[in-house]
Structure 1
Amino acid sequence: MSTPTLRDPVFTLTSGPVDAYPAVLRGLSRTIHYDYDPVFLAFYERVNEKAQAAMRLSTPPVILHGEPVLGLEAAAASLIARDDVVLNLASGVYGKGFGFWAKRHCAELVEIEVPYNETIDPDAVAAMLKARPDIRIVSVCHHDTPSGTINPVEAIGRIVAEHGGWLIVDAVSSFGGMDVHAEDCHADIFVTGPNKCLGGAPGLSLLGVSDRAWTKMKANPDAPRASMLSILDWEQAWRRDRPFPFTPSVAEINGLDAALDQYLAEGPEVVWARHALTARACRAGLQAMGLALWPAREEIASPTTTAVRVPDGVADADLRRAARERYGVTFSSGRGETLGKLVRIGHMGPTAQPLYAVVAISALGGALGALGHAVDIGRGVAAAMAAIDAAG
């Protein structure tokens, strides 16, 4: 049986990994230094300083050498102690998924779960903490990518801080694409990575860790040590005079350096604005074509991923296949509970450019037409362009 020949996509408009910036690709091709060469040790310290500036942290972040799932699982294993009660906030597949890691380490897992096209109400969090004062740790996914929705983490963080609890925030697919930072939302462990809105390559986790989180992890006898899951092992690894727990991903650090340079040089506020405009134009075009957004309300829709409902009678796999085969455009499917119900269009890093919204609308509309569900593509394009022009 022969294997069909597949062409590379022309446009990768997925929710991650995304196509990296050209500067990042050049960065990945730099010399692979020996990790204990003084040049690399100094370079690693400088990259950490750039990450601290980008993440707006008071203390150096931790770089774990594995994609952000490593950071999330490490956060659960390190911060959660066996006598802790954990409140997990589940508004989507990834938020729900964190509960499975948390449950391995805690005394009891409590959840607030809402429909996966909705977001968490901070008042519900406050009510739960009042009813259960023994809750010590709260976990929340800021942008639950399989739903394209944004949780109000700053409001939730204030409530958790007033309660005296610790907060774990999954900001993997939001940091760098919108105004979200660990200290603004009182996060004790804030997990992100370079392979989404920073336009980098997958392979690293970036963690903002509060002083009180370090204290709690050090007092937790079950927190991993001498392990791939250890956060504690990397506390001082950013310093050029301290050893690495194991060989760092040198090429990925080169790429991260380039991604951070790009982000800081362009200016975070400018980067956030083009992410938001791209998503706004995309939503306008989709709705003008008669398609429905997955989020229950547009104000909770993400500026980094647009989730659009698949029309009745259309299979999502057929829709994505038609878009790729006919137009060279790759979209993401749903995940878990949202699989088969929606298609996700990513606006992250280099694809967070408003004109890519026109590409997405045209390819999705053309694919729908090819499957017998005709939409007015011209109307969609006109609405997207009007949104772009309105921004000046």
Structure 2
Amino acid sequence: MTFDRWNPLNDTPVFPARRYASIADRIGKVLHTRNDVLLIQAEAVVALEAVATSLARPGLRTLNIVTSPYGLWFGGWLRRGGAEVIDLAAEPAHPIALATVEATLRANPDIAVLSLVHAESASGILNPLKEIVALARARGIVTVVDAVASVGGHALDVDELGIDIAVIGPQKSLAGPAGLSALSVSPAAWELISQENGPRDSILSLLDQKTWLDGDRGALPGTTAPLEFFALEAALDRVEAEGLGALVARHERAARATRTGLTALGAEPWTQQQKASHLVTTAVVPRAADPKALLAAAAPLGMELSSGVGPGAERLVRLNHTGLRARFDIVLGNVAAYGMALGKLGFPADIAAAADAVASIYAD
């Protein structure tokens, strides 16, 4: 056996340094922002930790909205840096109540940073982003939004809303690689990040990452992974060819069709449509059913069903219609698989009615 043959996976050409800036600009268009865009050579959880680490200082008061384990992590990273954190937890597996956010802000007028997740893939819920950011903006509070599970699946206009830091990963609705992430940073956020005693010489230092912006936006700091960047370019090509509005609409339709199908099936979607993610739809497992047994019954069908994640989601099943899965055949297959699994466990499920309901959403 010879080992001198070129392999497209192991022997990827060097990614041209001049194209990193182009990728950042294209991501800025996806986010509808003119703020600085940084490229992080790691999955989005690293970008989120870098944001928390770069902002946190002793004496910084923050309001951290918790609607999943990711929110808990973010609060922990802020505390590690010495920040004073108010964790405002929603009812398990539910969106945060806007009135609760407003009351907390009113009772704590010295809050400087507010952080939240837009959409939660863990439970399929959607937080009221526009309204929460408006509350923060009116008080001069810097906002941090985890948009990993919403970008491309929900409308997201960073500049219009006034979001200071938006963190995204391309692996969900954008159907790109999982090994990279990106974030936009406003001048107000840079002002906080640039205060004394911020972390340096670290992958978690946004100030270190900013050296790329302060130069000619050529080669990125560190050793880059060319395969990931070629894949990200290809994903952006596909997004731009489809059109961002069409991409969001495709996810909205997949979510609506899934909910309509589940209802016709006789199943119970977890949350109201206006409070639900467009990327995954969660169904409530019947009280007498074992969620693990239901998923095991569905597994041989090879569809996109999985268990909910985190407190309050133990009896939820997620039907995944993210990215390339946001299409008729996957949506129909997911709903039918859920119905067939219910039937195997002895629960009623009208699969024919569900199929008609899904088809009705795609008939336009």
Pair in the same fold by TM > 0.5: yes
Q: 1:312 aligns with which of 281, 284, 287?
A: 287
Alignment pair present for 1:384 and 2:358: yes
Which residue of structure 1 aligns with residue 330 of structure 2? Answer: 356
Which residue of structure 2 aligns with residue 18 of structure 1? Answer: none
- Cα offset, 1:179, TM superposition: 0.4
Given that 2:21 and 2:218 are in contact with CA atoms closer than 8 Å, whether structure 1 keeps it comes out as no
Which residue of structure 1 aligns with residue 131 of structure 2? Answer: 155
Which residue identity is paired with 1:324?
A: A
Which residue of structure 2 aligns with residue 340 of structure 1? Answer: 314
Q: 1:32 aligns with which of 3, 9, 12?
A: 12
Distance between the aligned counterparts of 2:9 and 2:160, measured in 1?
35
**1:230-309 maps to which residues of 2 (within 5 A)?**
230-237=205-212, 242-295=218-271, 297-309=272-284
Q: 2:194 aligns with which of 205, 211, 218?
A: 218
Which residue identity is paired with 2:284?
A: R
SS at match of 1:208: strand
Distance between the aligned counterparts of 2:157 and 2:354, measured in 1?
34
Alignment pair present for 1:123 and 2:99: yes
Relative distance call for 1:220 and 1:292 in structure 2 (3 A) is: farther
What's the C-alpha RMSD, in Å, of the aligned pairs?
2.0
Q: Kindly tell me the number of residue pairs found equivalent between the two proteins.
A: 356
Which residue identity is paired with 1:92?
A: S
Which residue identity is paired with 2:244?
A: P
Given that 2:93 and 2:313 are in contact with CA atoms closer than 8 Å, whether structure 1 keeps it comes out as no
Q: TM-score, normalised by structure 1?
A: 0.85
Which residue of structure 1 aligns with residue 341 of structure 2? Answer: 367
Deviation larger for 297-306 or 178-187: 178-187
SS at match of 1:244: coil
Distance between the aligned counterparts of 2:217 and 2:303, measured in 1?
47
- Cα offset, 1:286, TM superposition: 0.6
Distance between the aligned counterparts of 2:235 and 2:95, measured in 1?
30
SS at match of 1:281: helix
- Cα offset, 1:237, TM superposition: 2.4
Q: 1:330 aligns with which of 304, 322, 329?
A: 304
Distance between the aligned counterparts of 1:31 and 1:266, measured in 2?
30
- Structure 2 residues without counterparts, runs of 5 or longer: 1-7
- Cα offset, 1:374, TM superposition: 3.2
Which residue of structure 1 aligns with residue 111 of structure 2? Answer: 135
- Structure 1 residues without counterparts, runs of 5 or longer: 1-27
1:93-142 superposed Cα distances (whole Å, 9 cap, x missing partner) = 33344222222224421132221343223333222222111111111110
- Cα offset, 1:209, TM superposition: 0.7
Distance between the aligned counterparts of 1:204 and 1:123, measured in 2?
36
Relative distance call for 1:241 and 1:298 in structure 2 (3 A) is: closer
Distance between the aligned counterparts of 1:183 and 1:56, measured in 2?
6
Which residue of structure 2 aligns with residue 76 of structure 1? Answer: 52
Distance between the aligned counterparts of 1:160 and 1:241, measured in 2?
32
Distance between the aligned counterparts of 1:144 and 1:124, measured in 2?
19
Give percent identity, aligned residues only: 33
SS at match of 1:183: helix
Distance between the aligned counterparts of 2:313 and 2:105, measured in 1?
32
Which residue of structure 2 aligns with residue 103 of structure 1? Answer: 79
Which residue identity is paired with 2:309?
A: R
Alignment pair present for 1:171 and 2:147: yes
Given that 1:41 and 1:240 are in contact with CA atoms closer than 8 Å, whether structure 2 keeps it comes out as no
SS at match of 2:35: coil
Given that 1:117 and 1:294 are in contact with CA atoms closer than 8 Å, whether structure 2 keeps it comes out as no
Given that 1:91 and 1:116 are in contact with CA atoms closer than 8 Å, whether structure 2 keeps it comes out as yes
SS at match of 2:361: helix
Which residue of structure 1 aligns with residue 3 of structure 2? Answer: none
Q: TM-score, normalised by structure 2?
A: 0.92
Alignment pair present for 1:228 and 2:203: yes
Distance between the aligned counterparts of 2:35 and 2:109, measured in 1?
30
Which residue identity is paired with 1:90?
A: V
- Cα offset, 1:64, TM superposition: 0.6
Which residue of structure 2 aligns with residue 17 of structure 1? Answer: none
Q: 1 or 2 for the larger relative contact order (CA 8 Å, sep ≥6)?
A: 1
- Cα offset, 1:240, TM superposition: 5.2
Given that 1:66 and 1:205 are in contact with CA atoms closer than 8 Å, whether structure 2 keeps it comes out as yes
Given that 1:42 and 1:240 are in contact with CA atoms closer than 8 Å, whether structure 2 keeps it comes out as no
Which residue identity is paired with 1:328?
A: G
SS at match of 1:43: helix
Relative distance call for 1:116 and 1:246 in structure 2 (3 A) is: same
Which residue identity is paired with 2:340?
A: G
SS at match of 1:135: coil
- Cα offset, 1:29, TM superposition: 5.5
Which residue of structure 2 aligns with residue 52 of structure 1? Answer: 28
